[in-house]
Each structure stands twice: as C-alpha cells, then as structure tokens.
Amino acid sequence: SNIMNILARSVLEMYTFDPNPDDLSRDNLMRQAVELIARFPTIIAYAYNIYRHSVQGRSLHIRHPRENMSIAENFLYMLKHEDFTELDARMLDLLLIIQAEHGGGNNSTFTVRVTSSSRTDTYSSIAAGIGSLKGPLHGGANIKVINMIHHLKEQIQDWTSIDEIDTYLNRILNKEVYDKTGLIYGIGHAVYTLSDPRAKELKRLAGELAKEKGREKEYEFLRLLEQEGIKCVKAHRNTKKPICANVDFYSGFIYEMIGLPQEIYTPIFAMARIVGWMAHRIEELNMEGRRIIRPAYKNVLDVKEYSSLLDR
C-alpha cells in the first residue's frame, strides 16, 4: 500500500537483471545512474496505477512511455493519459530540477553516501536512500503541509483576515488544535534561515499555475499563511533569528493543482532526488584516498560497576 516501499523493492530487484551490478567503475556507475533516472517514473506510475486498481477499485491503465516526451511529460501521460496541460508538464519538470539536490547534507543523500563508502552495490545504496526519504520528517513532509493547509482552509472562515489566521496559528503552536504537535509544517529549515531558494521559486511557480487553474484565492491564502506563520513562530520562540518557509510549503499545493494524488508525493521527490543521489555516489566512489564513513558515538553516562546477570 506504500509506493515508496514498492519503489525500494523494485530497485533491489534491478540488481538481479543488471549484467554487471557490482562493478564500481565510473563508467558502470554512470550507466546505472542513467538507467535508474529513466526507470523511476515508470515504476512509480505503474505502482500507482496498480494501487488505484487494487485498493480503490478503479480501472487499470498501463501506458508505455513515449520516446518523444520528456520525463515530466511521460510521467503525467502514464498517470493521466492526455489529461494535463503544457504548463502542468513544465511545472513538474521544474519541480524535479528544484528537488534534485540541495547541498548534500540532507538525510537521504547522507544515507546514500555512507552506504556507498562501504562499497556496497548501487541498488542496495539507493534502496537505503529511498527508505530514508520515506520518513515524515524528510520526504514525507510535503504531505504534512498539504494536510495542514486543508485543515486551515476548513477552520479559518475569512482567508484574508490576518487576525483570524494569527489566532488559529497560535493555537496550533500552543498544541491546542490540529495534531497538537505544536508545529506549523513547512515553516523553518535546519540549514536555510534567510530563505529557502527552492521555496522562493516554487512560490512563484505556484502563483503562475494558480492563475491557469482558477485557484488564486487559495494561493493568496497560502501566501498569508507563510507570512503569518513565520511571524507567529518567531514570536512563539521569542527569537529575532530569521526563519523562512521551506520547499515543502508550496510543493504539495502545486502537485494538487496538477492533479497528482498524495500517494505519489514522496515518490516524486525520490524521482527528482535520484539524480543527486547518484551524483554523490559517483563522487564518493571516485575520490582519491576514500575511506568508509564511520560516525563516532560518545558515551556520556557515568561508569557503572559490572553486576552479574543473576544480580540484575
């Protein structure tokens, strides 16, 4: 029922069909990279079509990718046949570029690098990266954001009222409403503070797509949520440090306008991130003097006297 798990299993299965799966030479890694980038959209589209058929009881459609289409166009074609616009395809293409990588310090890219440093095969390393990206604090965060926005759209009566928005956001921060975690999803980033450049570009793209889809009111509501969310979080934390919206704040809204189901939001992130993962893997395995990455852990507990099993 989870397409990220299907994607991971499919990647591991590729090892069986690769004529040279354990060759870590640069040329072989490049071949594997190109094949993975090419196959991810088809795996995800087919997995969703089968999920839709078996779980939702809808018709099963299997459409072969076309040679004359881009990755984004082919993905939408396999999912939606011809029910997408040129702007939909261009938006998805830009999303894939924006989400491909951002510095290499993220959890899934580190997972790929640390497993690559052990000189394991490509498919095992990428499957590990998929497992990391699946987590709700990483690739799954855009679903958290869009679900929160749906909730706010229902609870806030006047989408233009700053007072009403601030009141409800502060109730979220005080753990009184919604999921009571005290988090406004999509606001804040572990590295970016002044701004998340990916979020700034997605904000612009979301506005362009909202005009085509007739959803300008929702877009303006999101802009107010971003503005007031940053303000409320800073006041709640009593800090003057800059805080920004992150890439997840607008990505789910764009997926929704394109007509993509939530079940594939995180797999689409993997479809973008496979480019960055393989770039890092190739670099890791082609560096001079490379060694296995081995984190160290420091015990901060006091020394304890050993007691025998019977005395415990």
Report angle CA 119, 13, 1 to the nearest 5 degrees: 120
189 is catalytic: yes
Map residue 184 onto helix, strand or coil: coil
Residues 6+ apart with CB under 8 A from 308: none
User: Where are the alpha helices (H) located in 134-264, listed in sequence order?
Assistant: 141-155, 162-173, 197-213, 216-237, 248-258
Q: Position of tokens 């909202």?
A: 210
DSSP symbols for 263-282: GGHHHHHHHHHHHHHHHHHH
Q: Position of tokens 């082609």?
A: 286
- Rounded-to-integer distance, Cα 36 and Cα 271, Å: 9
Q: Are 252 and 146 in contact (CB under 8 A)?
A: yes
Amino acid in the structure at residue 15: Y
Tokens of 24: 């870590």
**Which residue of the set 88, 189, 196, 280 is catalytic?**
189
Map residue 247 onto helix, strand or coil: coil
For 181, phi and psi rounded to 5 degrees? -90, -15
**Which residue of the set 88, 121, 248, 280 is catalytic?**
248
Helix 248-258 to helix 265-284 angle, to the nearest 10 degrees?
Answer: 120
Residues 6+ apart with CB under 8 A from 59: 53
- Rounded-to-integer distance, Cα 138 and Cα 142, Å: 9
**Which residue of the set 18, 61, 93, 138 is catalytic?**
138
Q: Are 20 and 149 in contact (CB under 8 A)?
A: no
Residues 6+ apart with CB under 8 A from 270: 4, 7, 40, 44, 130, 133, 139
The residues that are catalytic are 138, 189, 248
